[in-house]
């Protein structure tokens, strides 16, 4: 062996943070922006924090009411944290933290308000020009997601969202537009945020309103929409490489590492199958084909996915350069799960792990799981990895002196970064790390503000009241030092 021992994070490691347009921008009705699926989301105060799926549920009636409502007070993602007007101030704070990269997304509805326009909206394109210019001015590299939990509501109501093949063509046009416009400003791209989440919340991820389809067809509709996103992702890769040959474009997965509850072979097999299903979404985009185990799954569940001629070739010929993923928690499964204690807030529920603590939202905290996940993914794919979401939502309290001493957040990140460093020393090729989120924002699932992730506090409550003033938490200075020392000081 000639390889030297890896001692820590490589030179040029991309440290930073991640946000999404629909959770921070605001400005929902300015600059020619159209209505998106995210603009339909309300903060459901009557639901418990842990009722994850119910927060994502949306009905025809809710959509109809949202479309005619010009009020942003009920719709937190319409106001965000006013990043649309304050991004220069925020970028200065990110630069103060020594960010090397910032993950953002482009709102499709800023570029094509309804998704069907012949020409793009110049005001929207100009906004992202200004954003990327400001990032470069501060020494921050953009990492840009094409689709992050939003699409034009027009396409939902007139095409059925991603269930319609026509949406692939419209997305392809959008992707080409932004690749051409920003080819000199963006070197790192992602296609779909947490593409696997379409299975868990089809409206948020795919514009699928389930009540518009026969009950026995819903699962097929969802997997058909997923197939369309796979094709759209591959076509985006194709055009990115054509327009910007030196750019890197990746896919993104919610990494849901699943443990067996016991060493009983039945539990081990079930956990294996859960992990296998989680990898299905990255398998298609990295290996360029559907894994064979999905053929059996589709047949046994009566799921029908229609492929057009040439689809297999599109998937095979246009695979991604790297795999990015979010990691918040691990899961536990058992064949006897119905008789066991459950965890309420996990993204995908599951059996409670007695060895792990949980966050205020009942998400299980498992830093060692991140090391396991990194090694497992790298062993499986042998392509570069990128942690593009990792963090904890918490209720922050302001001390009498105005400070926020969020030691719990520091401990969360410290423990995860330690395990991430161990994975790098294990030989995992890791491009970078972007925390979710470096600044308080509107929660994706519950559309609330009190679920705070940031190193930067934003003065706004769940009802939109507050000055929107930004202030540094204790964790701000901790993460600043982490980046300054390239992860040596944790």
Query: What SS3 class is residue 431?
Result: strand
2 has pLDDT over 60: no
Q: What is the pLDDT of residues 91-144, one digit of tens each?
A: 999 999 999 999 999 999 999 999 999 999 999 999 999 999 999 999 999 999
Mean pLDDT of 197-225: 96
Residues 6+ apart with CB under 8 A from 148: 20, 21, 22, 105, 193
d(CA 55, CA 32): 29
- The catalytic position among 25, 261, 274, 389 is 389
Per-residue pLDDT at 4:
77
344 has pLDDT over 70: no
CATH number at residue 195: 3.20.20.80
Which one-letter DSSP state was computed for residue 345? S
Q: What is the pLDDT of residues 236-271, one digit of tens each?
A: 999 999 999 999 999 999 999 999 999 999 999 999
Residue-wise burial string across 43-74, b where 16 or more C-beta atoms lie within 10 A, e elsewhere: beeeeebbbbeebbebeeeebeebeeeeebee
Query: Which tokens is 233 given?
Result: 């992702």
Confidence of residue 348 (pLDDT cuts 50, 70, 90): low
Q: What is the pLDDT of residues 277-317, one digit of tens each?
A: 999 999 999 999 999 999 999 999 999 999 999 999 999 99
Residue 7 lies in a domain: no
Residue 231 lies in a domain: yes
Q: How far is CA 339 from the centre of its chain?
A: 32
Q: Which domain holds residue 147?
A: 14-435+471-484
d(CA 454, CA 273): 35
CA 150-94-440 angle, to 5 degrees, is 50
Rounded to two decimals, the pTM is 0.95
Residues 6+ apart with CB under 8 A from 80: 22, 23, 24, 25, 26, 27, 441, 442
Per-residue pLDDT at 52:
56
Q: Which region among 101-115, 337-351, 467-481 has the lowest average model confidence (pLDDT)?
A: 337-351
**Cα torsion 247, 251, 254, 255: sign:** negative
Residue 465 lies in a domain: no
Query: Which tokens is 237 given?
Result: 């890769």
DSSP per position, 112-175: SSSS--SS--HHHHHHHHHHHHHHHHTT-EEEEEEESS--BHHHHHHH-GGGSTHHHHHHHHHH
76 has pLDDT over 90: yes
d(CA 231, CA 314): 7
Query: Which tokens is 48 given?
Result: 């418990």
Q: What is the pLDDT of residues 395-422, one digit of tens each?
A: 999 999 989 999 999 999 999 999 999 9
Residue 2 lies in a domain: no
Mean pLDDT of 149-176: 98
Which residues is 249 bridged to in the sheet? 189
| 261 catalytic residue (yes or no) | no
Residue 441 lies in a domain: no
Per-residue pLDDT at 290:
98
Measured between its terminal Cα atoms, the distance across the chain in Å is 31
d(CA 79, CA 27): 6
Which one-letter DSSP state was computed for residue 5? P
Query: What SS3 class is residue 455?
Result: coil
Looking at the structure of the chain, the number of domains it has is 1
Count other C-beta atoms under 10 Å from residue 349's C-beta: 17
Residue 332 lies in a domain: yes
Residue 450 lies in a domain: no
Q: Which residue has the tokens 């972007």?
A: 434
Picking from 132, 88, 115, the residue whose alpha carbon sits closest to that of residue 33 is 115
Contact 74, 40 (CB under 8 A): no
Per-residue pLDDT at 216:
94
346 has pLDDT over 60: no
Query: Which tokens is 417 given?
Result: 């970064």
Per-residue pLDDT at 340:
78
Confidence of residue 47 (pLDDT cuts 50, 70, 90): low
Burial bucket for residue 162 (CB in 10 Å: 0-12, 13-18, 19+): buried
Question: How many residues in total does the chain contain?
Answer: 490
Q: What count of Cα atoms within 13 Å lies in the side-chain half-sphere of residue 58?
A: 29
Contact 470, 87 (CB under 8 A): no
Regarding beta strands 322-326 and 456-458, do their DSSP bridges make them parallel or antiparallel, or are they unpaired?
Answer: unpaired
341 has pLDDT over 90: no
Residue 453 lies in a domain: no
Which one-letter DSSP state was computed for residue 472? E
Mean pLDDT for all residues in the chain: 95
């Amino acid at each position: 062996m000639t390889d030297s021992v890896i001692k820590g994070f490589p030179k040029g490691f991309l440290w930073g943070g991640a946000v999404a347009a629909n959770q921070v921008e605001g400005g929902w009705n300015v600059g020619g922006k159209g209505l998106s699926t995210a603009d339909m989301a309300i903060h459901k105060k009557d639901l418990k924090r842990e009722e994850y799926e119910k927060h994502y549920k949306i009905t025809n009636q809710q959509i109809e009411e949202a479309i005619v409502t010009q009020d942003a007070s009920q719709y937190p993602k319409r106001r965000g944290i006013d990043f649309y007007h304050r991004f220069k101030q925020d970028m200065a704070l990110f630069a103060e933290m020594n960010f090397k990269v910032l993950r953002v997304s482009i709102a499709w509805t800023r570029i094509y308000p309804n998704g069907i326009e012949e020409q793009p909206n110049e005001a929207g394109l100009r906004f992202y020009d200004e954003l990327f210019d400001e990032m470069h001015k501060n020494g921050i590299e953009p990492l840009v997601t094409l689709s992050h939990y939003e699409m034009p509501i027009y396409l939902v109501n007139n095409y059925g969202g991603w269930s319609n093949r026509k949406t692939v063509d419209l997305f392809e046009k959008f992707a080409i537009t932004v690749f051409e416009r920003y080819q000199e400003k963006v070197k790192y791209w992602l296609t779909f945020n947490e593409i696997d989440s379409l299975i868990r919340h089809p409206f948020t991820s795919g514009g699928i309103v389930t009540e518009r389809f026969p009950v026995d067809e819903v699962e097929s509709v969802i997997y058909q929409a997923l197939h369309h996103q796979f094709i759209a992702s591959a076509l985006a890769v194709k055009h990115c490489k054509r327009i910007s040959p030196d750019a890197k474009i990746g896919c993104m997965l919610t990494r849901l590492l699943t443990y067996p509850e016991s060493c009983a072979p039945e539990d081990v097999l079930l956990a294996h199958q859960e992990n296998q299903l989680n990898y299905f979404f990255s398998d298609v985009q990295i290996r360029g084909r559907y894994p064979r185990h999905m053929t059996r799954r589709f047949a046994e569940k009566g799921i029908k996915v229609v492929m057009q001629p040439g689809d297999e070739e599109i998937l095979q010929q246009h695979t991604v350069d790297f795999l990015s993923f979010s990691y918040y928690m691990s899961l536990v499964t058992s064949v006897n799960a119905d008789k066991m204690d459950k965890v309420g807030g996990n993204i995908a529920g599951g059996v409670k792990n007695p060895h792990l603590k949980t966050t205020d939202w009942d998400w299980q905290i498992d830093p060692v799981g991140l090391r396991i996940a990194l090694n497992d993914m790298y062993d499986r794919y042998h392509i570069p990895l990128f942690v593009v979401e990792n963090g904890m939502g918490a209720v922050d309290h302001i001390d009498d002196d105005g400070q926020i001493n969020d030691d719990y957040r520091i401990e969360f990140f410290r423990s995860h970064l330690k395990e991430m460093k161990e994975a790098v020393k294990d030989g995992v090729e890791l491009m970078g790390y972007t925390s979710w989120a470096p600044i308080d924002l509107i929660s994706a699932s519950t559309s609330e503000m009190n679920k705070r992730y940031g190193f930067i506090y934003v003065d706004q409550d769940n009802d939109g009241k507050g000055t929107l003033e930004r202030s540094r938490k204790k964790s701000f200075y901790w993460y600043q030092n982490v980046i300054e020392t390239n992860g040596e000081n944790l």
